[in-house]
Amino acid sequence: NVLILDFGSQYTQLIARRVRELNIFCEIKPYNHLPEDLSEYKAVILSGSPFSVRGDDAPHPDLSQIKGKKPLLAVCYGAQYLAHFNGGNVAPSNTREYGRAKLSFIDHSESFFEGISEGSQVWMSHSDTIKKLPEGAIKLASTHDVENAAYKLKDEDTYAIQFHPEVYHTTDGKKLLENFLVHIAGVAQTWTPDSFVETTVAELKAKIGDEKVILGLSGGVDSTVAAVLLHKAIGKHLHCIFVNNGLLRKNEFQSVLDQYEGMGLNVKGVDASARFLDSLEGESDPERKRKAIGRVFIEVFDDESHLVEDAKWLAQGTIYPDVIESVSATGGPSATIKSHHNVGGLPDYMKLKVVEPLRMLFKDEVRRVGASLGIDKELLGRHPFPGPGLAIRILGDITREKVAILQEVDAIFINGLKEWGLYDKVWQAGAMLLPVNSVGVMGDERTYEKCVALRAVESTDGMTADWVNLPYEFLQKTSNDIINKVRGVNRVVYDISSKPPATIEWE
Ligand code: XMP
């Protein structure tokens, strides 16, 4: 196990993902919540930070239990922090030190840079620079602008680098992490999807025994993988509930339910469409729509779970990015842009114990674990779909007729992406039904009908996104199909806004 101490860098999660790609388990902890028992950690990595070490409010944790006692790798701010507190000198830099740079000098007498040559590209992002190294420190690398790009403290396994090994643009970043973790710190590369499945199934068996577990399936990757893991551990004691809120994609409820049954899951499909659609009647405010759907979901789920006699556990598909304690640069909570409704908001009175088998996994790891469990590739590669479904893609109030129109449009778009081999190149796609009618002409007749907007984005986590440059021929064919086949739609537009400032969903 490797400990990553977070100083608030935007790249901290990336460090963890790179380490996991080396099949090494690691955990992120905020610098001000250093675990008391450090014995299980074989090595420690210090992250970057938006702070300057010279600032009064900068993170200055006590590292006396770590430095010199365990292999330590300090990145960016971490490197400056070590220099600052060990007799070096950190000051604002005169030249810009952002973006690409090339290593112009490397000390190859140290195994740290083994297999990495001069000229290798690294990614810099810092405004302070290390002017003078600590007493006795050994310079390991430089770039044209940054003299002390990497160094080592004498007589201890403490390494520091000014650049970011975790970002894609640092060509040999992963190799460097491997050199440090595997060759210097001697950490074993045993964290694989298969070993995760094996140990997690054993843990779940021991923890749950023959008690009953309830799990809400959504059709998405996380809840599905959580269900299959639990099923492997406790079989029929897992009771899955899959709710149709009437706002899913066309035919989705039945086809996903069939798939779940095909996997041998003990699943109950509950068609509560009418209850959801009735609760949304006349509602056009996005946040109130979300709240109504969240409320009805809890009611339905609660009713259903009471039918499972003597259930003791509630299972959830929570993943690691949802549980990492983060260091906030401003100290305050971030603004709520949209309230995301998930199973997380279940009422306290359900008094169930919670089990979250995926809480230590990143999304890409969930997919790899799913593949190792034999879950269908197509299911694992599905685009994300929001909990409130088409309700937040129908701008304005929602009627059954509008849902039916949007389901048709969405199906043409998504099936087209699949047929053209574009589906896997897109992170998320969908159609929005706009609350405007526009004039058109079909045959000799004037029409006055609805407009739909298509949206397809590239992203890694939904936090930032860019629109996808879909081929014109594809857009042309899709637009024709939609206008010819879907009654009530006479105009199609394509959304070319990035996030930020736009969001992925229109509501
Ligand atoms: P935005 O629109 O905020 O979306 O750019 C980012 C990602 O979150 C999804 N999304 C939601 N998911 N409940 C959900 O479960 C919601 O209320 C919700 N709103 C947005 C969106 O589909 C995208 O993947």
> What proportion of the chain, given as a percentage, has pLDDT over 70?
95
Q: Is any atom of ligand 1 closer than 6 Å to the C-beta of 370? A: no
Looking at the predicted complex, does its ipTM rise above 0.95? yes
Query: pLDDT by residue (tens digit) across 258-296?
Result: 999 999 999 999 999 999 999 999 999 999 999 999 999
How many Å apart are CA 356 and CA 227, to the nearest integer? 10
425 assigned to some structural domain: yes
pLDDT of 393-428, one tens digit each? 999 999 999 999 999 999 999 999 999 999 999 999
Query: Average pLDDT, whole number, for the chain?
Result: 93
In a domain? residue 324: yes
- 338 in ligand 1 pocket by Cβ < 6 Å? yes
Q: Are 138 and 106 in contact (CB under 8 A)?
A: no
- The confidence score (pLDDT) of residue 345 equals 52
- The one catalytic residue among 126, 164, 239, 341: 164
Distance CA 452, CA 489 (A): 7
Looking at the fold, whether 449 and 406 belong to one and the same domain comes out as yes
Q: Are 461 and 363 in contact (CB under 8 A)?
A: yes
Residue 149 clears pLDDT 90, i.e. is over it: yes
Flag whether 57 is in a domain. Answer: yes
As a whole number of angstroms, the distance between CA 298 and CA 301 comes to 5
In this structure, the answer to whether residues 433 and 339 fall within a common structural domain is no
Q: Please count the structural domains in the chain.
A: 3
Q: 309-335 pLDDT, tens per residue?
A: 999 999 999 999 888 887 754 443 334
Question: Whose Cα sits closest to atom 7 in ligand 1?
Answer: 462
- Domain membership of residue 505 (yes or no) is no
- Residues 135-169 as b/e (b if ≥16 CB within 10 A, e otherwise) read eebeebbbbeebbbbbbbbeeebbbbbbbbbbeee
- We report the CATH number of the domain holding residue 334 as 3.40.50.620
> 154 in a domain, yes or no?
yes
Looking at residue 483, what is its pLDDT?
97
Same domain, 374 and 485: no
pLDDT at 331: 40
Q: How confident is the model at residue 442 (pLDDT cuts 50, 70, 90)?
A: confident
- Confirm if 237 and 212 have CB atoms less than 8 A apart: yes
Task: Write out pLDDT tens, residues 72-119.
Answer: 999 999 999 999 999 999 999 887 778 899 999 999 999 999 999 999
The answer to whether the predicted template modeling score (pTM) of the entire model surpasses 0.90 is: no
The neighbouring-strand residues paired with 139 are 151
Residue 214: inside a domain, yes or no? yes
Which residues face 269 on adjacent strands? Answer: 242
Q: What is the CATH number of the domain that holds 472?
A: 3.30.300.10
The domain boundary residue, chosen from 157, 184, 211:
184
The closest alpha carbon to 395, from 405, 385, 387, belongs to 405
Does 41 share its domain with 159?
Answer: yes
Domain co-membership, 198 together with 177: no
**Binding-site residues for ATP:** 218-224
Note whether residue 499 is domain-resident.
no
The reply to whether 363 and 448 lie within a common domain is no
260 shares a domain with 340: yes
Same domain membership, residue 314 and residue 290? yes
What does the pLDDT read at residue 321? Answer: 87
Residue 497 near ligand 1, beta carbon < 6 Å: no
Q: Catalytic site residue 401?
A: no
pLDDT at 257 over 60: yes
Same domain, yes or no: 403 and 346: no
What pLDDT, on a 0 to 100 scale, did the predictor assign at position 340?
47
Which of these three, 348, 380, 412, is where a domain ends? 380
**Are 224 and 165 in the same domain?**
no
Using CA atoms, how far residue 268 sits from 13, 43, 217, 257, in Å, is 36, 46, 10, 8
* Nearest one of 494, 489, 229 to 375, comparing CA atoms: 229
CATH number at residue 152: 3.40.50.880
Host domain of residue 154: 2-184
Whether residue 164 lies in the annotated active site: yes
Would residue 386 count as lying in a domain? no
